[in-house]
Chain A
């Protein structure tokens, strides 16, 4: 038997029974993405008409590669969390909803992994 009060047990759990984690992770990734996306978008704009070698060196430089890998992790995590909320609100059939969330999570992981592998190859040479 738990000695915690019913209020103490309920506090912070919310209706999803997993507490703040989803909400908090979405905010943390959102804050990370503010500087990362602005930096990356303008970097790509500046490089938009450059030749292959220039783009390769600029994207693959150590700091740039570290920032892009951080961007990839934050963006795909944020996307998976956001899509989950959309499915939870609009897909009423429980089986379809769980399937949609699962497929999206797996796909986001795969795409994130692919982007990171590409970045490793760009940064370290292939």
Chain B
């Protein structure tokens, strides 16, 4: 049997990945990124447990440009992984596998993650001004 005419898997450097494939990879990427981000959570809780001085220095780092950049990336990664994770749970119970449904839910995941990220930063800033 000749092997030359068999269908090939897509060559990744010449194949335009569909949106759902990109989202699938980003789901893993954000998962790994959030795993590293748990360090920030542990550090923040440790600072809060360590007393006022430790907490204020942690807060001032989080409030700096670099700290906010990390938190912004982290919040988007969190909401993206959350929304796409819910999509995975819906797939797990057997719904939403049709091609156009997958296309639509891909866009819904991106929209919802973007909205939640935007919304939480609005809340953070509005409470900051009010306090």
Using a CB–CB cutoff of 8 Å, the interface residues on chain A facing chain B are 27, 30-31, 33-34, 37-38, 41-42, 45-50, 52, 55-56, 59, 68, 75-76, 79, 82-83, 86, 104, 108, 111, 114-115, 117-119, 121-122, 126
What 0/1 pattern do residues 36 to 62 of B give for CB contact below 8 A with A?
A: 001101100110110010011000001
* Prevailing SS type, chain A contact patch: helix
Known: A27-B92, A82-B35. A41 touches B75 (CB 8 A): yes
* Prevailing SS type, chain B contact patch: helix
| Chain A residues within an 8 Å CB radius of B75 | 41
| Chain B residues within an 8 Å CB radius of A37 | 78, 82
Using a CB–CB cutoff of 8 Å, the interface residues on chain B facing chain A are 28, 31-32, 34-35, 38-39, 41-42, 45-46, 48-49, 52, 55-56, 62-63, 75, 78-79, 82, 85-86, 88-89, 92, 120-121, 123-124, 127-128, 131
| Chain A residues within an 8 Å CB radius of B82 | 33-34, 37-38
| Chain B residues within an 8 Å CB radius of A104 | 35
| Chain B residues within an 8 Å CB radius of A79 | 31, 34-35, 38
